Structure 1
């Protein structure tokens, strides 16, 4: 019988290998055997957090703290879960409670600093607080679905403007003059009855309904790209065409809504003057245009000119780094990024810092410095949780895992690990045997017998689903591995999946018709099916499990089966005739009986 410590060790090993689902499972098994061990809840909380299951991670962290209030790491686990759930104030409180227990704990200190930065950013970001309003969320959803505004809705600069407009509705007219995208968005809102109702219910008395204000020229969008990376030329053509279409549509909309008596038009206020760009912004926008056209040397000249005028704009260094990346001058890209980060030491902005760090991680990954790149991506996400950065991090972690697995392959060492597993199995140390067989699989993942051996160890621990998974892998590598058929059928039989056990035995007997063990196993399965093995409650549980089987679900969805089952209620004799005359239908009904879904007699 395995102990809680053995399952804990398996969980720790799985966690080190980034197999977080497996780790959480082993910790759960350990908790069943020792529910008062606070470290087990802490470890499982870490596994859940690594799987982005932050609510489960929080529950386990709370349980850990309730068992041992002096365990500082429990508070770190709680703070991390609350952080990613967006509960920054509660995260800060958890970190502070942990530091009261262990003032020198670096993880708690870093977590506290990160949560405080996030909270400050949220408080300074009106858009973040507005997202708590379900009406605003619905409005943004409408903008994301409309082709005219879908691109805007994914642009962080545009969303920041929306945030400012939400917090300062009286400034809406000025925003429309400043950025033509706002006018386009308002046109979409006013054409959609649901969006219009939400808009005026949220901003009634603060924003006047725009009376056909003319859309500005699309080129003015370049004013608001300080934090945008320039798009490739092909995308630029697409946006230009789209903007022209939007302008034509908006002008038509303008004509429709401004057909009013002549005398009223004289009372309209004159248009407000357009804000003038600073010279460094002009140079930056010219650089963006050259970047889009892949004229990288000219883009670099404009960015340098912009920096001569404004050395305090950190993202200009980021733009320069983008040029250097295209030129494959990675060291120069890193130097430019470091200059931008130095600027942010004085003029702090967590969003800009996140962008620079993400660009730095990209450069490091291109230099094949995978471990460093992963660390920098993680730092970027601490500054600002951007989904695209998170996706890049996951890709890099997967690449690292694949490379490590490839480098670990060694068939000779795999056979040695398999031998150690056999020795542990004979000694009754089944968790140790699983570890050895797992190592053998990593050393040589194409050897079927290692999966079969590990499945046997899982069976000793009554981990039948894991055993079945290993046996299926074994058979996928060698479809004539008879022992795997025997063991797999036995697992299904123990789990009372008689229909599956019968199928596996039959396939195995096709390979070895005289195999006595499989013949006896098949007879035992048939007898159990006929007798309806187990108590009434056990049979109900068996049927319930069978209903979750995709094969059984598919059979029950087929029209001929549905019609037959309905006919059998009122006309059983007609149903029996239909079964006898249709072999395919008969096989399906037999499968339902074997699974325990249908009963005979």
Structure 2
């Protein structure tokens, strides 16, 4: 008997390592020595299910039940094997039989999972559910579904599915249909449902991957995978290993806090070797490697945490933490693409502000690196020359594309923005043209041609006072007087437009028009400027004194251009 127990322990360890063939061989040897031990058949059933040998898993589960029909785990093994074989009705019956002898979470959740798998098979199964002519009567008699029938649109939807069962494939977009399914199948689905956001699954059935919402195709329901490390009840040796592992974890944490990373790594690794059922040992080990700057080892440890965590159905938050740590390690390695990929995986498992911020920062850094890598002044000049040729040929849309490429290649060259503004002006895209001249001025505040072009654009937009102000700025900046003739011509054109626009406009009409400009309104509402203007009415010479102040001069010039202050 002791030999059988020793073989069982070895089989459990092989199973934990996912060496299913070895586990099956060891459990078989144990059965030869102790053929009446129902736990051994249960364990071998789990190992066969790990290989997706559903027929073999079912045979062992039935033998386990034959030896001890009052043991709930045997029924759970049978239900899981039938689930894997997609014999859903029989699996449901097995789980119900198990619940009749033992009310365990594994059985209840196993029943929940297989019921969901059956429901997801497609419109055919849904059509059968809605084909019952007495369905509405059953729903009315059930307290859970009775309230749903108060909604006429819900009743109409059920009748539509009864008339056309193929449309029932979209039925479960309405969560109330879960209750309908429960009544139709004679079970309380909501009683078995997981709380929202929970990823806890029974040991016999793994979590199914999220199903796509598209109705054009449906993946096969995920079959249960028997990867439950907890093969049987925890014995004294296992309890001892767990206790030692937790103690090693505490030592590792203490060493980590003291920045004794070598000792911390040793203890966390020892904890995992002793008790490979808690992936926090591995994520902690990854954190140690991260602090040591060994990012490859940190990634390796956390990837193992993800893999093993999936096998033992660890909390999704722990999986998310492992992915997040992998992402951080890739950031340190400079591999932002892999970092972004893992941060996204982490957020899929569990959304946290910390990882979301890391993702956004990685995306920003990656985008900036790509932008910087694209910069090439020589290629920028070539694209700009190509744009100039297209502009002269009258191909303004193509010129915009070439100037855009020039800007991307060298965003510090104001000529690209200014040239593109000229092309936009030809295309009558005035807001885009104005935006580009502003960007050109921002890039090079001494670029006189950008001011002249901006004045032309404002003139085309009939913003004559702003056009005048801009061309005056161009005159101030043109210290070497290289553009005097062009500036004078533009200024005269704007002045004539202003005189024509205002015509016989009264002072009140001028004020009303000018106050629509927020800048003019701010100046007029400024108490200091109000005082200056009042003083100027009684003493015009005082205005010349105030004009010596550059800030005041700019504001007064703005009012002159707007027509509020009229000069002779």
TM-score if structure 2 supplies the norm length? 0.49
TM-score if structure 1 supplies the norm length? 0.47
Please identify the structure whose Cα radius of gyration is greater. Answer: 2
